[in-house]
Amino acid sequence: MWRFRGSKEPPTLTPESAKMIMSVTGFSVDQVQAMFDEFVAMHPSGQINKKRLRHMFHQSLPKMEKITDHLFRLLDSNGDGKIDFSEFELCMFIMDGKNAEDKLAKIFRFYDLDGDGKITINELRTVLSSVRELVDTNIDEEMPDVEAIFKDMDKDGDNQITQEEFVQAGMKDELFINWLIKLF
């Protein structure tokens, strides 16, 4: 699919990757090719590793450097330790998308720090604490009660929030969902 550094040929966009991105996003082949060309111009290997992502954040958004690992995990959907064009574009599309349920499902992965498919109260606190540092200094005045929100989201009372519970709660609670997506 991709040709990496060390290869004599530059990364290329395969027809399969282009079709997959087009089917999800509705973009034309020309739009996908233009986005790919821009991505490769910025990342000649055709990939972004965690070190590169940290450097990018350090250069442009130093406050967000603390959440780089969380963001990397979100973007690296196949878990290979690298973000390729398809992963990057699909995540950006979902984050910019109009479908709230899809957005919430993707954001769930950001809060699920250990990747076990469930969010614990500690995971929720950890991520919200990181977000709190990134935004306004008066954020504590607006911050919802994390324990109360967690309890409300945990419909089956097992002290874990599943993706389904997360999405359902997010669709109902406008104040909390605004907090969850504040970073995005």
Please give the average pLDDT of every successive group of 10 residues along the chain, which has 184 residues: 50 84 79 91 89 78 70 79 84 64 76 89 82 52 72 92 90 64 52
Alpha-carbon distance of 146 to 161, in angstroms, equals 13
113 forms beta bridges with: none
Residues in Cβ contact with 70 at an 8 Å cutoff, skipping those fewer than 6 apart: 110, 113, 127, 130
Give buried/exposed letters for 120-156 (b at 16+ CB in 10 A, else e): bbebbeebbebbeeeeeeeeeeeeeeeeebbebbbee
Residue 119 parent element (H or E) = strand 118-119
- The pLDDT value given to residue 144: 62
SS3 state of residue 23: helix
82 forms beta bridges with: 49
Alpha-carbon distance of 133 to 67, in angstroms, equals 10
Structure pTM? 0.54
